[in-house]
């Protein structure tokens, strides 16, 4: 075998064993190779195994000095593009005003829409780039980014074009989602908006290939399940995948709708009840939980432990956004899922790699296996569990994408 590059000196090489979502107890099954090497050719993994078993040639060799290597993380849920800030909301919430009341009175998400929809594209790119870089430094080599702060059809398209520009400029793989976030105030405008989204926005987004999926925020202060249904149907009809923000504050039935319509993922689930846990567990839909929201808004954590015990496939994301989760580290989201949602370290790694990839409809991310892109992380310690143990420092020493080390992500390059 002839490799472009051999990574050696790996104390532990850790990965999920096979493609496809891992359900229930399978979320605890990792392949851990001690004293490993990883060979890369053409940006892809050529070989991975015990160091002593490598018998090929490599044009270059990098010794990582007895450190652990894990797959590049997949962040399956972010709103990384926004303008303005939500510091006034933060103050209001600290003094006891609920998130939903701020939203109902025209603040919250609405204030971010006002700031974002009026910002020029180059300003949105300038603001979002360091956020994407922060997620990348924290280990995310694949990052979903949603629109949703545009509101008008044109502003939503403009946001998706900004996401495309960010994707072109970043070494990370960016997966764009069209988010239909909050409805207009009057009933007539809501109905007209659903029809415009179905007949104009979704077809145009599909035509320009600006998004891989359509997401709808179903909640008392947002869309109803009945309003979301035609939007999701239109997405499916135009070849786009579907996902939902649902059961965040109340049991609103979005979860059942998502399962019935074959959503890739149902996200949030802080208000999901036992009966709904059982429904997700016997579906193919990934349950994406977002511990940063529970931490920042003080919501009850989504029932991660119960979901896995019931047999569901759980993913974890940052939900990076200015209002409900100003969490700029994908590794920290995994660390929080252990503390807040009751996941084990093994489950958290699977939730942030192979299962998160499945939540985006990807089968070639989040694993270390011959033929897949060589996207991997060199951790700061010899034990991979440092990744999900560490709070407040970066456990990721090097980020490699397609077999290339990202300079701004190395301890030296980032000035760490």
- Footprint on this chain of ligand NIG (rule: CB under 6 A): 79, 108-109, 112, 217, 245, 248, 293, 319, 321-324
Answer for which of 319, 347, 386, 398 binds Fe ion (CB under 5 A) is 319
Stretch of 234-242, 315-323, 358-366, 406-414 lying at the interface with Fe ion (CB under 5 A): 315-323
368, 346 in Cβ contact below 8 A?
no
> Which among 366, 357, 363, 362 is positioned nearest to 30, based on CA atoms?
366
Residue number with CB closer to ligand NIG (126 or 220): 220
Residue number with CB closer to ligand NIG (15 or 111): 111
Choose the contact partner of 323 out of Fe ion, ligand NIG, none; CB within 5 to 8 A by kind: ligand NIG
Tell me the backbone φ, ψ of residue 240, rounded to 5 degrees.
-100, 145
Residue number with CB closer to ligand NIG (217 or 328): 217
Tell me the backbone φ, ψ of residue 395, rounded to 5 degrees.
-75, -5
> Which among 299, 295, 315 is positioned nearest to 359, based on CA atoms?
315
Choose the contact partner of 202 out of Fe ion, ligand NIG, none; CB within 5 to 8 A by kind: none
Q: What is the nearest approach in angstroms of ligand NIG to the Cβ of residue 301?
A: 14
Residue number with CB closer to ligand NIG (47 or 110): 110
Where do the DSSP E strands lie in 281-393? 286-289, 314-316, 376-379
Residue with CB nearest ligand NIG? Answer: 323
Residues 350-369 interacting with Fe ion (rule: CB under 5 A): none
Residue with CB nearest Fe ion? Answer: 319
Residue number with CB closer to ligand NIG (148 or 303): 148
375 near Fe ion, judged by CB under 5 A: no
Q: What is the nearest approach in angstroms of Fe ion to the Cβ of residue 94?
A: 21
Q: What is the nearest approach in angstroms of ligand NIG to the Cβ of residue 31?
A: 33
Q: How far is 29 from 296, CA to CA, in rounded Å?
A: 31
Question: Sheet containing 30-41: which strands, arranged edge to edge?
Answer: 44-50, 30-41, 2-16, 57-71, 376-379, 396-401, 404-405
Q: How far is 70 from 36, CA to CA, in rounded Å?
A: 12
DSSP track, 273-297: -HHHHHHHHTSS-EEEE-HHHHHHH
Q: What is the nearest approach in angstroms of ligand NIG to the Cβ of residue 317?
A: 9
Q: What is the nearest approach in angstroms of Fe ion to the Cβ of residue 33?
A: 36
Residue number with CB closer to ligand NIG (139 or 292): 292
Choose the contact partner of 21 out of ligand NIG, Fe ion, none; CB within 5 to 8 A by kind: none
Helix then strand count (H, E) for the chain reads 16, 15
Quick one: DSSP state of residue 184?
-
Residues near 29 by beta carbon (within 8 Å), at least 6 away in sequence = 16, 17, 22, 346
Q: What is the nearest approach in angstroms of ligand NIG to the Cβ of residue 79?
A: 6
Q: How far is 304 from 407, CA to CA, in rounded Å?
A: 35
Choose the contact partner of 23 out of Fe ion, ligand NIG, none; CB within 5 to 8 A by kind: none
Q: What is the nearest approach in angstroms of ligand NIG to the Cβ of residue 148?
A: 7
Q: What is the nearest approach in angstroms of ligand NIG to the Cβ of residue 99?
A: 7
Binding site for Fe ion (CB under 5 A): 319
């Amino acid at each position: 075998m002839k490799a472009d590059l051999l990574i050696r000196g790996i104390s532990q090489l850790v990965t999920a064993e096979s493609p496809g979502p891992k359900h229930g107890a399978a979320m605890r099954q990792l392949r851990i190779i001690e004293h490993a090497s990883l060979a890369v050719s053409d940006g892809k993994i050529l070989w991975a195994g015990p160091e002593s078993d490598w018998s090929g040639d490599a044009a270059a060799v990098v010794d990582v000095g007895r450190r652990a290597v894990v797959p590049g993380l997949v962040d399956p849920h972010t709103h990384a593009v926004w303008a303005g800030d939500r510091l006034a909301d933060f103050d209001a919430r600290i003094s006891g005003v609920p998130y939903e009341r701020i939203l109902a009175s025209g603040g919250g998400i609405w204030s971010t829409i006002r700031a974002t929809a009026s910002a020029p594209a180059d300003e949105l790119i300038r603001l979002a780039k360091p956020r994407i870089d922060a997620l990348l430094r924290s280990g995310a080599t694949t990052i979903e980014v949603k629109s949703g702060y545009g509101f008008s059809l044109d502003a939503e398209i403009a946001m998706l074009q900004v996401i495309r520009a960010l994707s072109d400029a970043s070494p990370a793989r960016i997966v764009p989602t069209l988010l239909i976030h909050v409805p207009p105030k009057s009933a007539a405008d809501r109905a007209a908006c659903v029809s415009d989204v179905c007949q104009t926005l979704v077809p145009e987004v599909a035509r320009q290939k600006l998004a891989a999926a359509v997401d709808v925020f179903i909640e008392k202060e947002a869309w109803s399940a009945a309003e979301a249904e035609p939007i999701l149907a239109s997405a499916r009809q135009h070849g786009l995948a579907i996902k939902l923000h649902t059961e965040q504050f109340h049991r609103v039935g979005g979860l059942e709708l998502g399962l019935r319509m074959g959503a890739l993922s149902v996200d949030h689930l802080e208000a999901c009840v036992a009966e709904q846990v059982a429904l997700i567990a016997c579906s193919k839909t990934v349950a994406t939980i977002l511990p940063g929201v529970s931490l920042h808004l003080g919501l009850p954590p989504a029932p991660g432990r119960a979901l896995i015990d019931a047999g569901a496939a759980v993913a974890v994301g940052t939900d990076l956004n200015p209002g409900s989760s100003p969490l700029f580290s994908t590794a920290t989201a995994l660390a929080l899922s252990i503390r807040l949602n009751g996941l084990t370290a093994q489950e958290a790694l699977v939730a942030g790699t192979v299962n998160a990839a499945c939540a985006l409809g990807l089968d070639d991310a989040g694993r270390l296996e011959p033929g897949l892109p060589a996207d991997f992380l060199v951790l700061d310690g010899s034990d991979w569990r440092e990744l999900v143990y560490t709070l407040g420092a970066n456990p990721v020493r090097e980020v490699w994408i397609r077999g290339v080390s990202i300079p701004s992500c190395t301890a030296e390059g980032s000035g760490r």
